[in-house]
Copies of this chain bind each other. A is one copy, B any other.
Amino acid sequence: MKYSIILGNLGNTCDRFLSSGYKDQPSKETMIRQASEIFGVTGVELVGTWDITPQNADEIGELLNKYGLVCASILPDHFSQKRWGRGAFVSLDPAIRAQALDETMIAAELARKFRCPLVNIWPGQDGYDYPLQSNYLQARQWIVDAIRAAAKAYPDIRFSLEYKPKEPRTHSFLARAADTLILAQEVGLPNVGVTIDTGHSLVAGENMAEAAVLLNQAGRKLFHMHFNDNYRFWDDDMIVGSVHLVEFIELLFWLKELGYDGWYSMDQYPYREDAQGALRNSVEFLQGIEAMLDAKSMEEIRALLARGDAVKSTAWIKSKIFPSKR
């Protein structure tokens, strides 16, 4: 399993009440060094404009080399600038829509430069807030067109669409695994797939493992994984395992079973926590499950799934958590 983190997770964090942020902003080098210090982490994801631009690309590339990290993905920024406030790919202003595509192209160009095969697209502002506010037909088509244009222009890059049911809009257009898969299928290109963010999936009411199976079954369309935890109602972006355990075991079982060979990337928002510690805890939690899922456990789980008996399944889980228990 290849572990990475989104670099910005190590930086300052703000919310709508405390816009200056809960922390101070470290330097890029500090963040990259901190990422490299987490045992097992070999990659970082870089957000356009926040972390990476055509201007600073060489400098960032050198820092990555210095600390032995590779670029796991580039995330074009379609969410953190005033111009995207009322939508990027679905803005009613054609000039903004064009800029949203430009930003995607720039990200793909940067990905090429870093020999990184993945652009992760999270069009967070592309949604709506109120009933009777949006033309769903039109909006969906605009997203399809833009993604197709980018994916055609960069056939060597995989474009992975990250869904999220809400926030910053009350409704996102890429909301759930299945509707995002349908959109990817409408685009009709092999280099367009889907990212599961575990927290987004929980908020969507999905079973994360089932979402992974669904995407994989549809022509191996699960391209990328983001990890974090929450209380199922909101994208709290917490340390993995701080709330849930069993469903993460199930998810990792299936990722292994399906032959997922992409990154296990941390995507958190440690508002008030030591960021490096929060990320390390997540990675170590996943490594703990990874170790649990040896060949014997994999075989046992396969047998449990064939049996379909929840008493047996929960007993198995219990035996793993409390090994000394009768």
Question: Residues of A with Cβ closer than 8 Å to B?
Answer: 13-22, 39, 79-82, 84-86, 92, 124-125, 128-137, 140, 165-168, 170-171, 175-179, 181-182, 204-207, 209-210, 213-214, 217-218, 230-234, 236, 238-239, 241-247, 249-250, 253-254, 269, 271-274, 277-278, 281, 284-285, 287-288, 291-292, 301, 304-306, 308-311, 313-318, 321-322, 324-326
Contacts and interface: CB of A to CB of B under 8 A. Distances in A.
B318 A133 contact: no
Contacts of A288: 318, 321-322, 325
Contact of A82 (B22, B306, B313): B22
A177 B175 CA distance: 12
Nearest to A322: B288
B85 A22 contact: yes
Contacts of A82: 18, 20-22
Given A20-B82, A132-B304, A182-B214, 18 more contacts: A13-B16, A15-B168, A17-B124, A18-B82, A19-B21, A128-B308, A130-B314, A132-B314, A133-B310, A135-B306, A166-B234, A167-B234, A231-B232, A242-B314, A272-B310, A277-B311, A284-B322, A288-B325
Contacts of A292: 322
Contacts of A85: 18, 22, 271-272
Given A19-B14, A137-B213, A205 B311 contact: no
A96 B234 CA distance: 29
Among A181, A218, A272, the most chain B Cβ lie within 10 Å of the Cβ of: A272
User: DSSP class of A's interface residues: helix, strand, loop or mixed?
Assistant: loop
Given A171-B207, A250-B132, A273 B242 contact: no
Nearest to A279: B311
A278 B133 CA distance: 14
A24 to B, nearest CB: 9
A140 B217 contact: yes
8 contacts: A14-B16, A18-B82, A129-B271, A132-B246, A133-B310, A134-B305, A166-B234, A178-B182
